Amino acid sequence: MALEGSLDEEAIADLRADLGLDAGALTQFRIWAGRALGGDFGMSLRFDRPVSELILAALPTTLILAVLALSAGLALGVGLATAAVLWPRSPLPALVEALNLWSIALPTFCVGLASILLFSVGLGWLPVIGQWLSPVLILAIDNAGQVVKPLHEDLKEAATASHIRTARAKGLSPARIVLRHLLPNALTTVVALGGMILAGMIGGALTMEVLFGLPGLGTLAFQAISGRDYPVIQAVVLVFAAGVVVVNGLADLAQRALDPRLRR
């Protein structure tokens, strides 16, 4: 505002006082942190609205996208890993490797751009802005690739346990052995991986929101960075950091509840 020439020295000093910039750095941080703990992140410099209102308006979209993608990804990963153990001589173990390689080698941002070029621009099947199918599927496949390989290895190792050999000797079917004996023991692995994926999916969700024009925290953060809206950027980073801590804490508690050995 000063560079535009619309403010004189006195107006600049008054503006600095109103923004609290005339205080020391530690004092500024103490004031900001105290207000942030109470949910007051200040005013957006770009939208001239309370930052907390912007975050509350954008948060549901991000949560819905994350929950849908995580649920679909876990269902696909657990289902494929289980099927690969049931039918080890089928192409399913190779599909496990391929899906795991997909999640490692292909960033979700690049897959999102490719899906826009193919399904929206090329074929015209889906709109570019505002559609949920592509971002949910892209994130779900990426999540499944992170789950399926370690879960498959865990299930194969558990299949060599003595109680599993006893179950086979009793004549139990492979499907019953997997569903009643192997999968319950692998739940801790699924919970641990799910917590890590949900915490790490923040970056993927942000890029999907920006690519497909979903009004979530990713789009809000992108707009704030583009407009140098520092109060919004600070608040979004703080919300995401708190979310990572909470998700990891809940995953750890769930693991301890499922596996008594961890409580000891």
* pLDDT tens-digit series, residues 90-105: 898 899 999 999 988 8
Range in 4-18, 142-156, 211-225 the model is least confident about: 4-18
CATH code of 191's domain: 1.10.3720.10
Q: Average pLDDT for residues 134-161, to the nearest whole number?
A: 84
Residue with tokens 């993608």: 69
Q: Tell me, what DSSP letter sits at residue 56? A: H
Residue 123 within a domain: yes
Residue at 29 is within a domain: no
Q: Is position 178 within any domain?
A: yes
Q: Does residue 11 fall inside a structural domain?
A: no
**pLDDT (tens digit, 9 = 90+) per residue, 155-212?**
777 766 666 667 667 666 667 777 666 776 677 777 777 777 777 776 667 888 888 8
> How many other CB atoms are there within 10 angstroms of residue 29's CB atom?
11
Residue 2 pLDDT greater than 80, yes or no: no
Q: Would you call 75 helix, strand, or coil by DSSP?
A: helix
Is residue 190 a part of any domain in this protein?
yes
Its domain, for residue 192, covers 46-263
Across the chain, mean pLDDT equals 82
Question: Looking at the 3D structure of the chain, how many domains does it have?
Answer: 1
Distance CA(142)–CA(139), nearest Å, equals 5
Phi, psi of 256 (to 5 degrees): -65, -35
- Identify whether 38 is part of a domain: no
Assign 228 to helix, strand or coil. Answer: coil
Residue 139 tokens, joined: 């994130």
Q: What is the pLDDT of residues 114-131, one digit of tens each?
A: 999 998 888 888 888 888
Q: Tell me whether residue 259 is in a domain.
A: yes
52-66, 114-128, 145-159, 212-226 — which is least confidently predicted?
145-159
In a domain, 28, yes or no: no
In the structure, what pLDDT confidence band is assigned to residue 41 with cuts at 50, 70 and 90?
confident
